[in-house]
Amino acid sequence: MSIKEISPKLAHERIAHGAVLIDVREAHERAGGMAEGARGIAKGDLQAEPALHLPHPGQEILLICQTGRRSLNAAQALHDAGYANVASVAGGTVAWRVQDLPLVQPLASDEDRDFYDRYSRHMLLPQVGEAGQRILQRARVLVVGAGGLGAPASFYLAAAGVGHLRMVDDDHVERSNLQRQILHTEASIGTPKVDSARQRLLALNPSITVEAIAERATSANIDALLEGIDVVLDGSDNFPLRYLLNDACIKHAKPLVHAAIERFDGQVSVFDAGRQRGVAPCYRCLFPEPPPPEFAPNCAEAGVLGVLPGLAGVLQATEVVKLLLGIGEPLTGRLLRFDALDMRFRETRIRPDPQCAVCAPGTPFPGYIDYAAFCSGG
């Protein structure tokens, strides 16, 4: 049997005669306005337990969604479940609005309205939805470095609704930073980078928490910095700090999202050996020893194309969100390299080193070392 479709105007009239109108959209969609007189029950909830919401199968039931497709499918499901007097509103809430019929705002706190409005595009994604967005809201990410990589990465993490960003950097904003470190402005020159970053991130999304720690990450404070953290984002620009972060993430079983840039080239990967011993590699599996300093200049020595850290940082932010939500295939065990001049990407597989001194299965954590001496050959 084909389900009857009725116009929004007729639906509005039928409500006055006792018909039940149900908006089967998700809560975040209904936050933008509902047909007056409608009850909000998500399609999945309605179909799962129709008798809970509609105890009288003989009553007139009208279903409405955004454009009419979901309500038509839901109406068919209700009919198959024994509800004979059911119809779908043609054109949905869009048509209801076009016909200038009354709309109401669902009862919600200012906080909920902000949440549903701000993240509405995320919540349309089946892989995210409201449940996933709530996961991001509760997530805690450590961003080490508020410079070229940390700036774009944290900007997108804040926009995505990651609820707590702990940013660590002991540097101050300089004019030479502004070419590539998009969080900072002319007015912030001379201020601590983490304070400048916090101000910009909260201006973008005041509903999150940004913890600004104007310190250098060291062996003495790294354990405290990782406390309560879900994912670590490496925005460093030197090998001693990369090795420290790697070792700390193995010790605390936290995933590490790595990136490095130089001139026109960049690389991104995820190191998750702390949670996947013997399966996922760590940074030391890729670089058991650091290269000689003359072969690994930093950006201040070698230069860097201003847009390059934006590209790498956005890739890092993407990996962080995927890890938090448990979706897609992270770059675990894969090194993604890109050449911005030719705009070519290539991927290299990284295998865990069964003899790795830090992440090999059954290997106790050896403790932190003098990373500066290790990286200088001392």
Pair 273, 281: CB distance under 8 Å = yes
Whether pLDDT at 321 is above 90: yes
Do 139-376 and 4-107 fall under one CATH topology? no
204-246 residue pLDDT tens: 999 999 999 999 999 999 999 999 999 999 999 899 999 999 9
Pair 245, 223: CB distance under 8 Å = no
Pair 193, 172: CB distance under 8 Å = yes
Whether pLDDT at 105 is above 90: no
Which pLDDT score is estimated for 28? 83
> ∠ CA(312), CA(271), CA(356), 5° rounding?
135
Residue written as token pair 């929004």: 8
Domain boundaries, the chain: 4-107, 139-376
The model carries a pTM of 0.83
Whether pLDDT at 298 is above 90: no
In SS3 terms, 111-160 reads as HHHHHHHHCHHHHCCCCCHHHHHHHHHHCEEEEECCCCCHHHHHHHHHHH
CATH number of 4-107: 3.40.250.10
With H, G, I as helix, E, B as strand and everything else as coil, classify residue 258.
Answer: strand
Pair 246, 358: CB distance under 8 Å = yes
Contacts of 239 (CB under 8 A, 6+ apart): 290, 291, 296, 371, 375
Average pLDDT value for residue range 232-261: 96
Domain 139-376 = CATH 3.40.50.880: no
To 10 degrees, what angle do helices 308-325 and 150-160 make?
A: 40
149-199 residue pLDDT tens: 999 999 999 999 999 999 999 999 999 999 999 999 999 999 999 999 999
